């Protein structure tokens, strides 16, 4: 039986996108996006796509975590699958908000890199999670604000990034998704939009042909 979401943040239950836009040491800006997609089999895929030149690393901030996220509500016991090569593990214990992420609050779950440091990281990282105790039926089940230790901001997700490659010329630090949410259109809606634009173009072409023939 699925656990009821305590407060829905994403309008869609099947897809949602957040902007990584706040940072304590690097300064606010656009560092990339985090996209959630509900898949068949009660699985949620998380795609982390940083902007060109930035990579997801593991400097030791937040107990050695590269990425932190929360459950809504917390259940625990996640299983990680299809994690991009170069990244591993994941906090699967039963304690909520126990992973601090350097100024972006504390998180339920996280994962790190297989080679911690500033030189090992990728711009695009993806993984999927399942949960046998309470199967996922809604992306909102992975959308909840972090805990707020003294001196920290709250965020929905946090990523340890290297800004500017090679060498992290722009610095390193943890960035968070503060709640700037972008809807991710469902595929069928995208198809309808394309078809609609096609109809508009056809009508306009016929109108012009009629005017030219007069």
Domain positions in the chain: 15-183, 185-214
Tokens for 65, please give them: 């975590």
Measure the CA–CA gap between 194 and 72, rounded to whole angstroms. Answer: 35
- pLDDT at residue number 150: 73
User: Are the C-beta atoms of residues 20 and 67 closer than 8 Å to each other?
Assistant: no
- Regions of the chain with pLDDT less than 50: 1-3, 62, 184-190, 192-193
Q: 124-130 and 117-122 as β-strands: parallel, antiparallel, unpaired?
A: unpaired
- pLDDT at residue number 142: 94
- pLDDT at residue number 198: 61
- pLDDT at residue number 91: 67
Measure the CA–CA gap between 51 and 14, rounded to whole angstroms. Answer: 24
DSSP 170-211: TEEEEEEEEEEEE----HHHHHHHHHHHHHHHHHHHHHHHHH
């Amino acid at each position: 039986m699925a656990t009821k979401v305590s407060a829905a943040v994403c309008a869609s239950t099947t897809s949602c996108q957040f902007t990584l836009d706040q940072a304590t040491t690097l300064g606010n800006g656009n560092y990339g996006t985090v996209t959630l997609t509900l898949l068949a089999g009660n699985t949620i895929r998380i795609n982390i796509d940083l902007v060109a030149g930035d990579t997801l690393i593991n400097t030791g901030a937040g107990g050695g975590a590269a990425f932190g996220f929360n459950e809504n509500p917390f259940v625990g016991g996640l299983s990680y699958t299809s994690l991009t090569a170069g990244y591993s593990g994941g906090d699967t214990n039963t304690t909520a908000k126990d992973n601090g992420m350097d100024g972006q609050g504390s998180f339920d779950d996280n994962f790190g890199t297989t080679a911690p440091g500033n030189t090992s990281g990728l711009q695009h990282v993806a993984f999927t999670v399942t949960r046998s105790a309470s199967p996922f039926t809604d992306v909102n089940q992975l959308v909840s604000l972090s805990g707020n230790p003294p001196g920290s901001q709250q965020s929905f997700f946090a990523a340890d990034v290297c800004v500017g490659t090679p060498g992290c010329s722009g610095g390193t630090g943890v960035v968070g998704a503060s709640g700037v949410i972008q809807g991710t259109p469902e595929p069928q809606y995208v198809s309808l939009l394309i078809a609609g634009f096609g109809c508009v173009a056809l009508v306009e072409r016929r109108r012009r042909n009629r005017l030219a023939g007069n």
